[in-house]
Structure 1
Amino acid sequence: MAAANVNIGIEDKTRQEIADGLSRLLADTYTLYLKTHNFHWNVTGPMFNTLHLMFETQYTELALAVDLIAERIRALGFPAPGTYAEYAKLTSIPEPTGVPKATEMLQQLVEGQESVVRTARSIFAITDEAHDEPTADLLTQRMQLHEKNAWMLRSMLE
């Protein structure tokens, strides 16, 4: 789909590159949401209550984040991806196989949180160069939250 006629002081090609990066971020965020929600439903063991509640807090925040990311893509004048097929092509986060043990769930979620941070960081330079402060602000908030979540999840493994 072609870009909308958007004149916000960022060249079309640059807006496209930023939207493409945000589409990868959206795919990672949605995939992590789905994985976290899955683990919330299926976690068992002595840490059940703690992990069940922690996973719920995290998937709820991820559900809100996908909307923010998709809306930023739209504000840049491009369609936001919204299908499993598109997300499967764009995401860097692998789907789980079967139902892992609680500690493996934690490890996979740490890796997922860190993947989202890397994706966000990978597009930060172009947003900075384009003076796209709204996207840079969104990326900064996402990185801060995902780094904190990774730390909290990692702490459960020690």
Structure 2
Amino acid sequence: MTNNALKTPTDLKANAVAAVADALNGLLADSFALYLKTKNFHWHVSGPHFRDYHLMFDEQAAEIFATTDLIAERVRKTGNTTLRSIGDIAKRQSVKDNDQDFVTPADMLAELRADNLAFVQALRAAKEVAGAAGDNATDSLIDDWTDAAERRAWFLFEAGRGA
């Protein structure tokens, strides 16, 4: 099956929508990387605030994971292809993995907060690309994803006060 067999009809210009798909695939890779890091911290958090952080990380991970299908389907709706493997994610992600044996809860909160804020910047950049392409559907979806990432960063900030 060739790439042309997966082309979905769209009224958007091919070169503009390809740029949007590239931006969305970067967001998708970062979403998977952020999801896995958040689950990693969920599984490995310890200390006196264990229950609160454990539950918050799980809630945030679920929220992040829920957007992955929306992002990938948006890429497909515009006639492009999306990520196919962990290797593809690794090539495209800008969110750095954390493979440390132990991370303090305070460092977990700070790292996830920074990652979510960096994700907000990537979302804003993707929104500009979508706007330039005339892709108002992607532009609109990005608003919701930005609000969710800002909310996560806010919760992580507040939870980290005095952590």
For Structure 1 versus Structure 2, the TM-score category normalised by the shorter chain is over 0.9
User: Structure 2: any 5+ residue segments left out of the alignment?
Assistant: none
Residue 8 of structure 1: how far off its partner (Å): 2.3
Shifted more, 53-62 versus 80-89: the winner is: 80-89
Partner SS state of residue 10, structure 2: coil
Residue 97 of structure 1: how far off its partner (Å): 2.7
Contact 1:113 1:150 in 2 (8 A): yes
The answer as to 2:67 corresponding to 1:65 is yes
Residue by residue over 1:86-141, the C-alpha shift from the partner in whole angstroms, topping out at 9 and shown as x without a partner, is 11111111101313111111111001111211111112112112221110111111
Sequence identity, in percent?
32
Aligned equivalents of 1:82 and 1:34: distance in 2? 17
The answer as to 2:136 corresponding to 1:133 is yes
Aligned equivalents of 1:83 and 1:115: distance in 2? 23
Residue 28 of structure 1: how far off its partner (Å): 0.5
User: Structure 1: any 5+ residue segments left out of the alignment?
Assistant: none
Partner SS state of residue 123, structure 1: helix
Contact 1:28 1:115 in 2 (8 A): no
Where has structure 1 moved over 4 Å in runs of 4 or more?
none
Residue 60 of structure 1: how far off its partner (Å): 0.8
Aligned equivalents of 1:131 and 1:124: distance in 2? 10
Query: In the alignment, residue 147 of structure 2 is paired with which amino acid?
Result: Q
Query: In the alignment, residue 112 of structure 1 is paired with which amino acid?
Result: D
Q: Which residue number in structure 1 is paired with residue 48 of structure 2?
A: 46
Query: In the alignment, residue 138 of structure 2 is paired with which amino acid?
Result: T
Residue by residue over 1:44-92, the C-alpha shift from the partner in whole angstroms, topping out at 9 and shown as x without a partner, is 0011000000011101111111011011111111111032211111111
Q: Which residue number in structure 2 is paired with residue 121 of structure 1?
A: 124
Shifted more, 125-134 versus 11-20: the winner is: 125-134
Q: TM-score, normalised by structure 1?
A: 0.94
Q: Which residue number in structure 1 is paired with residue 106 of structure 2?
A: 103
Of the candidates 136, 150, 154, which is equivalent to residue 151 of structure 1?
154
The answer as to 2:82 corresponding to 1:80 is yes
RMSD: 1.4
